[in-house]
Amino acid sequence: MRAMLLDAPGRPLRPADIPIPSPGPGQVLVKVRACAVCRTDLHVVDGELEQPKLPLVPGHEIVGEVVAAGAGVDTFRAGERIGIPWLGHTCGVCPYCRSGHENLCDAPGFTGYTIDGGYAEYTVADAAYCFPLPERYDDIAAAPLLCAGLIGYRSLRMASDARRLGIYGFGAAAHIIAQVARHQGREIFAFTRPGDAAAQAFAAGLGAVWAGDSTAAPPVPLDAAILFAPVGGLVPAALAAVRKGGVVVCGGIHMSDIPSFPYRLLWEERVVRSVANLTRQDAIEFLALAGEVPIRIEVTPYPLAAANEALADLREGRLQGAAVLVP
């Protein structure tokens, strides 16, 4: 099969012909129909996330068709469409797994990082970490639901009942979750790179009540803010934008250093927290929600062989919505 391989961090992906993997016990073999490109893939390729499997097939927002199942799989049949997300495996026995926090598992496996992912024509996955997808989305539109949507949803949950919600970085995750948040009756305040008029217009088009530069103050204090941009300097900016008791949720897996800031920005019970990975329960809840809420998913498809171009476009901020590789 054709695959795009990471040989070492910092190098471009290399197109290669490798054997089609065979499904072990509990696994399914999946023909990849679409795989979205996530900012986390950039962090892996650029070496900001340490010790990936090497060589590695990146990609953890996979939509595919089951072609074969290993021993013991009775959940999915050949021909069925499934989604494969970032959380690829958990140990089931650590204190986190046993207390409903499998996203924090001590011995996890992550798709497209420690387990081969979806930048290929086929992949294998543990069937217990795969999900049926809502029918209203075609393969390419469904792919970004599997991380941009899922991690976005977990971030949104951590913003609890915030009505006025700031979103810093209006990319793939933001554009999905802003629509879900609006459906829930929240007001969206979108912050983009300074001067990025196209992203601000994009946010306004998706129903944001305000869209402006990340350096600007919102017109009213926010109840919570979610940071999808991997820019540590936005943490104090977001703290300054939220009201007393407001929460700032950092949704990314990697961020540049957070500069020191005066304690008064944190004072009055403001909270800064991160969101790590996802639980399978998050996936079940979010995919059910995505089946009910008509989310307009903005995608730019690329052929699999153009994975390096897709990553470069994401790195340079040339994309609106999500890049999706199509084998």
Task: Answer yes or no whether residue 97 interacts with Zn ion by CB under 5 A.
Answer: yes
Q: Which is nearer to Zn ion, 94 or 289 (CB)?
A: 94
Task: Answer yes or no whether residue 147 interacts with Zn ion by CB under 5 A.
Answer: yes
Binders of Zn ion among residues 30 to 49 (CB under 5 A) are: 38, 40
Stretch that binds Zn ion, among 7-15, 95-103, 193-201, 229-237 (CB under 5 A): 95-103
Stretch that binds Zn ion, among 15-23, 49-57, 100-108, 192-200 (CB under 5 A): 100-108
User: How many residues in the chain?
Assistant: 327
Q: Which is nearer to Zn ion, 80 or 285 (CB)?
A: 285
169 φ/ψ sector (left φ>0, alpha ψ -120 to 50, else beta): left
Task: Answer yes or no whether residue 105 interacts with Zn ion by CB under 5 A.
Answer: yes
Closest approach of Cβ 146 to Zn ion, in Å?
8
Closest approach of Cβ 126 to Zn ion, in Å?
14
Stretch that binds Zn ion, among 115-123, 144-152, 154-162, 281-289 (CB under 5 A): 144-152
Q: Which is nearer to Zn ion, 254 or 264 (CB)?
A: 254
Closest approach of Cβ 255 to Zn ion, in Å?
14
The CA distance from 80 to 99, in Å, is 32
> Which of 20, 67, 68, 91: binder of Zn ion (CB under 5 A)?
91
Token pair for 127: 């069937």
CB contact set of 197 (below 8 Å; sequence gap of 6+): none
The CA distance from 165 to 257, in Å, is 24
The CA distance from 170 to 28, in Å, is 34
Q: Which is nearer to Zn ion, 27 or 277 (CB)?
A: 277
What DSSP assignment string belongs to 291-314?
HHS-----EEEEEGGGHHHHHHHH
Task: Answer yes or no whether residue 283 interacts with Zn ion by CB under 5 A.
Answer: no
Task: Answer yes or no whether residue 311 interacts with Zn ion by CB under 5 A.
Answer: no
Q: Which is nearer to Zn ion, 87 or 239 (CB)?
A: 87
Q: From the DSSP assignment, how many helices (H) and strands (E) are in the chain? A: 9, 17
Q: Which is nearer to Zn ion, 162 or 275 (CB)?
A: 275
Q: Which is it for the CA torsion 142, 67, 16, 49, positive or negative?
A: positive
CB contact set of 85 (below 8 Å; sequence gap of 6+): 60, 61, 62, 111, 129, 131, 146, 147, 150, 278, 283
Q: How many chain residues interact with Zn ion (CB under 5 A)?
A: 8
Closest approach of Cβ 106 to Zn ion, in Å?
5
Token pair for 255: 């961020």
Which residues sit at the interface with Zn ion, rule CB under 5 A? Answer: 38, 40, 90-91, 94, 97, 105, 147
